[in-house]
Chains A and B, each alone.
Chain A
């Protein structure tokens, strides 16, 4: 090739790199419009030998993607749908297409018809989820970290380099108490610019706020490697109410799987969701601990806390539940808030964040701990049998002492741990 040819090739390369990527056949995806939206999963074959894709083994390769887009267009045309977006989910071997049904469509029937189509791996409606939190400034300030003797625990473990994925609203990554604590920040909510939001920032602070910096609070796992994955967006106003969808959550979970997270925090609640169930099973199958907030009021739906293998966490004692729920500090929690502030928050979301941090502490001590073992460490059967209601209080000192095999906090806890050790 001549020098001119090379320059032309490089120019094409630059133009292509700078051009915006059109991900779908349509734009204008309204992330908060769960109504009328469907998720249509098409099979994504396992990567394999292809002589025409010599150096492109990854999921990002276009090889095969166009075939699935062609099938999706045919399906959309046949069923009167409009393609909005798509996202490959190799953990499940599917390419997930978001499609919008016309107002006249009966969604359950449409889902049934699509599910029966041999080209479709599975189909479902888009569900909406809510973050589980409420602000209540009347509660007196009570540093919850003191309940777990955090300073003592941090002499043994700080969650160093344990990968924690927080799937939530946006986080203020340059908050003075979070600077340097966040390894990666990703936005999976299309159509809404990334911004600092209350719920996500509060959860991030509880998990991993910088310790010993002379300001604010100390996170439960201040040396964890925190990934903040925005899959939820604040509703009108800034009162920490927020919504997420099946699709945005699924994208964030797939990312957490790709990044080999050790713990995933889901401070959300909503209806059962088949796609998310499958992703959670994939995560649990890889030994990833999943911590979810349990909605004591039951107003938002039991999922994902109700999913088998997920650690269900409430901030208050649970009186009526078929699920085995653990209780952690969830009232009067001082934590980070957007605008370089700190404030008091309450709710199961923040109890779950505490346990997520605690799991990171345990995983630093024993990286190979499986989700079932973590469950036993956080809530020993001996304590479960003593519980008078459906909830068991997590004792961080006992959990760390049992994992480390040493005195963690006050030696009463250590002695208790020794007594409970098999």
Chain B
């Protein structure tokens, strides 16, 4: 279902957007480097499941993420993962750049609001912006995302998610996730309800700068969702090995 990248001017437009974004991040880092924290991860995953659906044709993917946190609560970053089209056997990169503001409240709750921009480098027509707002409390977090043209489709999308990371041992956590995507775009691909649920449950282990996650990930419908890829396998086990820095 993924269409090979037509080389047109949109690439230059995207490149400019990302150059501006990364420039802002770099400027912030330079301007206040003493108070800021820059962190990142490098990961290998057995399958890149984005909101439950494989963007790597159920094959392994390599991922890199960088994150900048300002002392005042502002943050920005970028994430990139290799992707592969199931239909056209083409490879590319999915990049999400994001920026927002997070703050803690005296009650122990945290709030978070921001925006991100998603680019599938192999298929520029699927670029889309998104805004989100969420919360975190101890081991639970939730977030709502709104995209006016999800993966470039002429349809808005609302995605809600709840995540749990419950410590079991000092360095072992139980991970759980449930998400629901509501978009008219689902109907274009054979899901008449327009609603797609995704879920994950697994374990995460942190060990000396490395993190391993083993999750069972799945969706409730075999049709619908993303323009970029179909649903070849509704569910499966995903292993991710990450090194943070």
User: A285: CB under 8 A from chain B?
Assistant: yes
Cα A73 to Cα B43 in complex, Å, equals 24
The answer to whether B134 touches A51 (Cβ under 8 A) is no
Q: Shortest distance in angstroms between B201's beta carbon and chain A's nearest beta carbon?
A: 9
Stretch in B13-21, B65-73, B83-91, B180-188 touching the partner: B65-73
The answer to whether B207 touches A47 (Cβ under 8 A) is no
Known: A12-B212, A19-B207. A67 touches B112 (CB 8 A): no
- Count chain A residues whose beta carbon lies closer than 8 angstroms to a beta carbon of B: 50
User: B12: CB under 8 A from chain A?
Assistant: no
Q: Shortest distance in angstroms between B101's beta carbon and chain A's nearest beta carbon?
A: 8
The answer to whether A45 touches B73 (Cβ under 8 A) is yes
The answer to whether B108 touches A67 (Cβ under 8 A) is no
The answer to whether B204 touches A52 (Cβ under 8 A) is no
Find A46's partner among B112, B139, B176, B210 (CB 8 Å cutoff): B112
In the complex, which residues 216-242 of chain B have their Cβ closer than 8 Å to any Cβ of chain A?
237, 239, 241-242
Determine the chain B residues whose CB is within 8 A of the CB of A117 once the complex forms. 34
The answer to whether A55 touches B98 (Cβ under 8 A) is no
The answer to whether B209 touches A62 (Cβ under 8 A) is yes
Stretch in B3-11, B121-129, B146-154, B165-173 touching the partner: B165-173
Binary flags per residue of A40-65, CB closer than 8 Å to B gives 1, else 0: 00010111111111111111111111
The answer to whether B239 touches A21 (Cβ under 8 A) is no
The answer to whether A64 touches B37 (Cβ under 8 A) is yes
Known: A16-B205, A68-B37. A47 touches B69 (CB 8 A): no
The answer to whether B114 touches A58 (Cβ under 8 A) is no
Determine the chain B residues whose CB is within 8 A of the CB of A68 once the complex forms. 37
The answer to whether B38 touches A67 (Cβ under 8 A) is yes
- Count chain B residues whose beta carbon lies closer than 8 angstroms to a beta carbon of A: 75
The answer to whether A57 touches B34 (Cβ under 8 A) is no
Determine the chain B residues whose CB is within 8 A of the CB of A66 once the complex forms. 39, 209, 244-245
User: B116: CB under 8 A from chain A?
Assistant: yes
Determine the chain A residues whose CB is within 8 A of the CB of B167 once the complex forms. 58, 60
The answer to whether A258 touches B138 (Cβ under 8 A) is yes
Binary flags per residue of B95-139, CB closer than 8 Å to A gives 1, else 0: 010101011101110111010100000000000000010101011
Q: Shortest distance in angstroms between A73's beta carbon and chain B's nearest beta carbon?
A: 12
Cα A93 to Cα B104 in complex, Å, equals 7
Determine the chain A residues whose CB is within 8 A of the CB of B139 once the complex forms. 57-60
Determine the chain B residues whose CB is within 8 A of the CB of A161 once the complex forms. none
User: B79: CB under 8 A from chain A?
Assistant: yes
Find B214's partner among A13, A19, A93 (CB 8 Å cutoff): A13
User: A404: CB under 8 A from chain B?
Assistant: no
Cα A64 to Cα B96 in complex, Å, equals 18
The answer to whether A119 touches B34 (Cβ under 8 A) is yes
Known: A43-B37, A54-B177. A49 touches B171 (CB 8 A): no
Determine the chain A residues whose CB is within 8 A of the CB of B107 once the complex forms. 285-286
The answer to whether B136 touches A57 (Cβ under 8 A) is yes
The answer to whether B65 touches A21 (Cβ under 8 A) is no
Cα A50 to Cα B100 in complex, Å, equals 10
The answer to whether A62 touches B211 (Cβ under 8 A) is yes
Cα A91 to Cα B106 in complex, Å, equals 8
Q: Shortest distance in angstroms between A282's beta carbon and chain B's nearest beta carbon?
A: 7
User: B56: CB under 8 A from chain A?
Assistant: no
Cα A113 to Cα B167 in complex, Å, equals 37
Known: A6-B237, A43-B71. A57 touches B140 (CB 8 A): yes
Q: Shortest distance in angstroms between B85's beta carbon and chain A's nearest beta carbon?
A: 20
User: B213: CB under 8 A from chain A?
Assistant: yes
Q: Shortest distance in angstroms between A185's beta carbon and chain B's nearest beta carbon?
A: 16
Find B136's partner among A13, A46, A118 (CB 8 Å cutoff): A46
The answer to whether A16 touches B173 (Cβ under 8 A) is no
Find B215's partner among A48, A55, A282 (CB 8 Å cutoff): A55
The answer to whether A64 touches B69 (Cβ under 8 A) is yes
User: B191: CB under 8 A from chain A?
Assistant: no
Q: Shortest distance in angstroms between B113's beta carbon and chain A's nearest beta carbon?
A: 9
Binary flags per residue of B57-78, CB closer than 8 Å to A gives 1, else 0: 0000001110101010101010
Q: Which residue of B lies closest to A258 (CB)?
A: B138
The answer to whether B138 touches A59 (Cβ under 8 A) is yes
Cα A46 to Cα B103 in complex, Å, equals 6
Q: Which residue of A lies closest to B41 (CB)?
A: A52
The answer to whether A49 touches B172 (Cβ under 8 A) is no
Known: A63-B39, A119-B35. A91 touches B141 (CB 8 A): no
User: A297: CB under 8 A from chain B?
Assistant: no
Q: Shortest distance in angstroms between A50's beta carbon and chain B's nearest beta carbon?
A: 6
Question: B: which residues have CB within 8 A of A?
Answer: 34-35, 37-41, 43, 46, 63-65, 67, 69, 71, 73, 75, 77, 79, 96, 98, 100, 102-104, 106-108, 110-112, 114, 116, 132, 134, 136, 138-141, 143, 163-167, 169-173, 175-177, 200, 202-215, 237, 239, 241-242, 244-245
- What are the nearest 7 A-B pairs in CB distance? A52-B65, A118-B34, A57-B141, A67-B39, A58-B165, A48-B102, A51-B79
Name 14 interchain pairs, CB-CB below 8 A, sorted by A. Answer: A1-B239, A16-B171, A45-B102, A46-B110, A47-B136, A48-B75, A48-B112, A49-B100, A49-B132, A55-B175, A56-B211, A62-B209, A66-B39, A70-B245
14 extra interchain contacts, Cβ-Cβ under 8 A, other than A17-B171, A45-B102? Answer: A21-B171, A45-B37, A48-B102, A49-B114, A49-B116, A54-B177, A55-B215, A56-B204, A57-B140, A57-B141, A58-B167, A61-B206, A90-B104, A91-B108
